Amino acid sequence: MPVRLIDSLATTEPLAEIFSDDSFLQAMLDFEVALARAEARAGIVPKTAEEAIRRAARAEYFDASRIVHEAFRAGTPGIPVVKALTARVARSNPRAARFVHWGATSQDVADTAFILLLKRAQPILTADWLRLKRALRHISNTHKNTVALGRTLMQAALPITFGLKAAGWLGALGRSQARMETAFSQALVLQFGGATGTLAALGDQGLRVGRDMARELGLGYPDAPWHTHRDRLGALVAAAGVLTASLGKMARDISLLMQNEVAEVAERAEEERGGSSTMPQKQNPIASALTLAAANRVPGLVAAFLFGMVQEHERGVGGWQAEGATVSSIIQSTGLAIQSMAEAAEGLRVDARQMRKAIDRTRGGIFAEKASLLLSSKLGRERAQRIVKEAVRQAKTKQCRLREVLAAMPEAMKVLDKQILRDLEAPTKYLGVADELRKRLLSPPEEKT
């Protein structure tokens, strides 16, 4: 299914297909087939009924637009789907039609169908995450010695390495992805409880049928139905929110570094990707823009889901009905952000010379901390900071280097010598344990001590 124009900046083609009408409809029909098979094995419905239901349960046999219309009237998609399937089965086997949806409730079919869509979406997100992980590891290793200007509160700060910056992105994303995987593993469970979650219509065979259905559909089997207990899905959407925000942080950094006056990195320039409709000279950060759009959109959706978790008794009014569109939007936005950042990282151009120029443009001012520490050992903290603040002021006024001002200050030269001044503004000599931290971020948790 092609992406709708209105959703063109909010999803990807594979995810749009997964959450399409036909896909959701087929997932609901798959639930009904699994139910019939499990009940036939348990002797609850005739084998002939299971066969008739299975033959009829194909999405192309049904009018999805009509089901959409009827779902609006029914307040759930489950009711019109069961109605349509029953009618289809009745054409070939009227007796079998009596056993469609036996012992289940409409929320069972809708919830489980949605879980089946999430199961299909997970490997797509994981595949793009692995692309992104490989690309960021490569960037970090390639630029482990590439010095760059650190920036705090959007101002020039101490030097870092670009390898450490990329590793920082990867570390946050790896933690977020791990939470996402855990949440998926807990959320991919069958919903099957019948009218009030007791499976009363199946007598003492409810658990047997439920376990069999879960195996049939490749889902986990929960301790009990979860009609109004949405904590598993809540954990999943919250994890998606954190992951998308982490991707947004990376996108923000890249888009800032792509500004013309900075020009330290650039997304890969491609035909019809990143250009302007009126300004041919522009190369816009499109992957970053799409990711930031997702990061702006998802928090509100997560909040909407969490608000709707407060549901009434054994079947909620309004909270459950709000979830489908909310969760599908969250997962699609998250998937778009992962794919976009994978593309950005795989094609990222890094300009090491421009990064070094940014450091040099500070005229040594970013090494004021280093100068203060060198002076403090002999002159004390307050006196050293007073000297360095004055040196920084003069360097800015005279537009000269910090070390040149210090060299002309007798009080400072009582402590410093020419060799110290030569090394003062060498960024590679003031990186601390940057590479050790970079390696820790890149190493799997089990390798850390």
> DSSP of 334-392, one letter per residue?
HHHHHHHHHHHHHT-EE-HHHHHHHHHTTTTGGGHHHHHHHHHHHH-HHHHHHHHHHHH
Q: Which tens digit of pLDDT belongs to each residue from 149-161?
A: 999 999 999 999 9
Same domain, 183 and 293: yes
Is residue 232 domain-shared with residue 345, that is, in the same domain? yes
Considering only the C-alpha atoms of the chain, give the largest distance between any 2 of them, rounded to a whole number of Å.
Answer: 104
Whether residues 265 and 396 fall in one domain:
no
Q: What is the DSSP letter of 116?
A: H
Please indicate, yes or no, whether residues 112 and 99 belong to a single structural domain of this protein: no
Is residue 354 included in any domain, yes or no? Answer: yes
Residues 250 and 326 placed together within one structural domain of the fold: yes
Q: Would residue 293 count as lying in a domain?
A: yes
Q: Do 140 and 288 lie in a common domain?
A: yes
* Residue 42, in any domain of the structure: yes
Do residues 325 and 418 share a domain? Answer: no
Per-residue pLDDT band for 281 (boundaries 50, 70, 90) equals low
Tokens of 435: 């590479």
Convert the pLDDT of each residue in 193-204 to its tens digit.
Answer: 999 999 999 999
Domain final position from 83, 104, 125: 104
Closest CA to 242 of 184, 175, 292, 185: 175
Looking up residue 60, the CATH number of its domain turns out to be: 1.10.275.10
Is the same domain home to 332 and 418? no
Q: Across all residues in the chain, what is the average pLDDT?
A: 94
Of 156, 192, 171, nearest to 38 (Cα)? 192
User: Does residue 196 form part of some domain?
Assistant: no
Q: Read off the tokens for 413.
A: 């030269």
Same domain, 400 and 445: no
Residues 100 and 111 in one domain: no
Its domain, for residue 95, covers 1-104
pLDDT tens digit string along 58-102? 999 999 999 999 999 999 999 999 999 999 999 999 999 999 999
CA distances from 193 to 197, 254, 264, 449 (A): 4, 48, 57, 46
pLDDT tens, 326-385? 999 999 999 999 999 999 999 999 999 999 999 999 999 999 999 999 999 899 999 999
Listed residue (144, 149, 146, 143) closest to 364, CA to CA: 149
Total number of domains in the chain: 3
Question: What is the pTM assigned to this prediction?
Answer: 0.94
What is the CATH number for 128? 1.20.200.10
Question: Does some domain include residue 205?
Answer: no
Annotated catalytic residues are 276, 315
Whole-number pLDDT of residue 62 = 97
266, β-bridge pairs? 349
